Amino acid sequence: MRQTLRPLIAANWKMHGDLSWTSKPSDFAAIYPASERGHLDVLICPPATLLASMNDGVLLGGQDCHAAVSGAHTGDVSAEMLKDAGATYVIIGHSERRARGDTNADVNAKAIAATRAGLIPIICVGETENERDAGQAETVVSDQIRASVPDIEAYVIAYEPVWAIGTGKTATPKDVDDMHNAIRAQVGPTVQLLYGGSVKPANATELLALKNVDGALIGGAGLDMESLAAIARAAPKP
Ligand code: 13P
C-alpha cells in the first residue's frame, strides 16, 4: 500500500533570484490554486535576501542556518532570523554545504537550532557516485542519518544522491525505492522522506508514486512555476 503521509513538494532555489522573483508564490498560486492542493504542502526556499519580501501563496524556508542564535558569525544566518523572516522550514546539510565543510556534527547542531527556533529541518543525505559504485550507498546514507539527525520530534529527510544533483541523471525508480525503504526502516513511519536529484515534470509521477517517497526536493525545475506546479500536481493524494 502507498504511504499516507502528506506530500511535501519543496523547491530549493539555491543562489538564484532577485527581488522581482518575490511574486513567484502568487504566480504559483495562480497556476495551481490553494483550493486544489489541500492534500499537499508546497514550499519554496529562496535566497535569504528574498525571504521577508516573498508573496503569499506557498510555504517558505531557508537553505541553511547557523547553529547559534546570534553572534560574531559574518555572513551567516540563524534559524531564528529565518523564522523571523517568514520561514517554517530550513534545509540542512545539503551536499553543496557538506562539500564546503559541513560535517554530520554540524548538521546535527543546525537541526537542533532549527527546532529551537520553531522551524522544521529538512535534513539532506546522499551518497557520491564512487560510494554507489562501491556498493556502499545504503551504508553511507544510514551512517549520515545516524550522525546528523538529533533526537527531535519533527524533521524531514531528503535523499539526494550527489551524482544526481544538477546533472540530469536521476536515480532509477528501483534505486530510489530501495533507498527510501531502507531509510523508512531506520527513521520510522512518521518522517516525510523526499527524493531530490534532477526531479522534473517528466519523471515526477513515477518517483512520487513510490511507496516511501513523500515528496521531492527540487533544484533547477523549481525555479519555473509552471514546472514546479506540474511536479506538485504529480503528487498522489494520500
Ligand atoms: P536539481 O533538481 O537541479 O538536480 O537539484 C536538486 C537539489 O539539489 C535540490 O536541493
Ligand 1 centroid to 164 CA: how many Å?
8
CB distance 220 to ligand 1 below 6 Å:
yes
Contact 25, 44 (CB under 8 A): yes
C-alpha 148/C-alpha 109 separation (Å) is 8
Q: 113-142, pLDDT tens digit by residue?
A: 999 999 999 999 999 999 999 999 999 999
- Cα distances from 124 to residues 50, 110, 120, in angstroms, run 22, 12, 13
72 CA → ligand 1 middle, Å: 31
Residue 1: which pLDDT band, with cuts at 50, 70 and 90?
very low
What is the pLDDT, as a whole number, of residue 132? 95
Least Cα distance to 229 among 1, 25, 13, 17 occurs for 25
% pLDDT > 70, the chain: 98
pLDDT in tens, 37-62: 999 999 999 999 999 999 999 999 99
Give the atom of ligand 1 at the shortest distance from the alpha carbon of 96.
8
- Reported as a single tens digit per residue, the pLDDT across 10-33 is 999 999 999 999 999 999 999 999
In the predicted structure, residue 159 carries a pLDDT above the cut 60: yes
pLDDT tens digit sequence for 71-94: 999 999 999 999 999 999 999 999
Q: What pLDDT sits at residue 237?
A: 86
Q: Which CATH number fits domain 21-233: 3.20.20.70, 3.30.565.10, 3.40.50.1820, 3.40.228.10?
A: 3.20.20.70
> Angle 103-109-110 (CA atoms, 0-180°, nearest 5)?
90
**For ligand 1, atom 2, which residue shows the shortest CA distance?**
219
Does 160 participate in catalysis according to the annotation?
yes
Among residues 66, 80, 94, 131, which one is catalytic? Answer: 94
**In terms of C-beta density within 10 A (0-12 exposed, 13-18 middle, 19 or more buried), how is residue 116 classed?**
middle
Task: Report whether pLDDT(106) > 50.
Answer: yes
Quick one: pLDDT at residue 100? 96
Give the number of the atom of ligand 1 that is nearest the alpha carbon of residue 164: 4
| Nearest CA owner, ligand 1 atom 5 | 219
131 catalytic residue (yes or no): no
The Cα–Cα gap between 3 and 177 comes to: 12
Average pLDDT over residues 178-199: 97
Q: How many angstroms is it from 13 CA to the middle of ligand 1? A: 9
Give the DSSP letter string of 24-66.
HHHHHHHHS-GGG-TTSEEEEE--HHHHTTPPSSSEEEES--B
Average of per-residue pLDDT values in the chain:
96
Beta partners for residue 86, in sequence order: none
